[in-house]
Amino acid sequence: MTRALGLIVLAAFAAGPLTVAAQTLSAVTRGPAAVGDARSGPDPVLRELLLEAIADAESFVDRFDAEVWLVDMSARLSRQVPDPGERLEILKAVHKHATLVGLDPELVLAVIDVESNFDRFAISSASALGLMQVMPFWVEELGYSDKNRLFDIDFNVLLGCRILKYYLDMENGDFVRGLARYNGSVGQRWYADRVLDRLREKWYRL
């Protein structure tokens, strides 16, 4: 993770992360929920961006040569993903797709950690699927018929990274609001606090 992102994370915590008890009792709101978050339905602009990303997927050049990063993150992930082949596939997909859209791979790892605990077959109570818990309405919107495609590691991470980047850009880099929009909880900060806490405690590299 870049030093700049680390400073942003620390600043977000200085602004007052929620305690576990406070998260349980009530979410801290920042105004009425806005439209266009990841759970409210397909955004037509985002749909076009995702279609372009899928069309260009075969031309992506994976210059994954961060061996130190790979070894470090693989060790951190070994308890949740015991199979080394699957672990490598997840880490390479995260590094590739996060880098392509200008996200820190560590931030994406923190999102996956909170969203699915690195279970590629995870299904949420809201029917979100896979590592980054992508909503299944995107399957039909992007021209596919089988929602199980969202259990594919590379495809799920590709979509998740693009969606996350889109919402962070929409919120002008505001991590709390951008992450809340990704989770479908705009106006609350409990989800962003969980992700930033996981990033700071587990994935952040000093």
Catalytic amino acids?
Answer: 115
Distance between alpha carbon 135 and the CA centroid of its chain, in Å?
13
What are the respective helix, strand and coil percentages of the chain, to the nearest 5? 60, 0, 35
Q: How many helices (H) and strands (E) does the chain have?
A: 10, 0
CA distances from 182 to 37, 158, 159, 195 (A): 6, 14, 12, 11
Which two three-digit tokens encode residue 9? 């994370």
Contacts 24+ apart (CB under 8 A), 181-184: 181/34, 181/36, 181/37, 181/38, 182/37, 182/38, 182/111, 183/37, 183/38, 183/39, 184/37, 184/38, 184/39, 184/40, 184/126
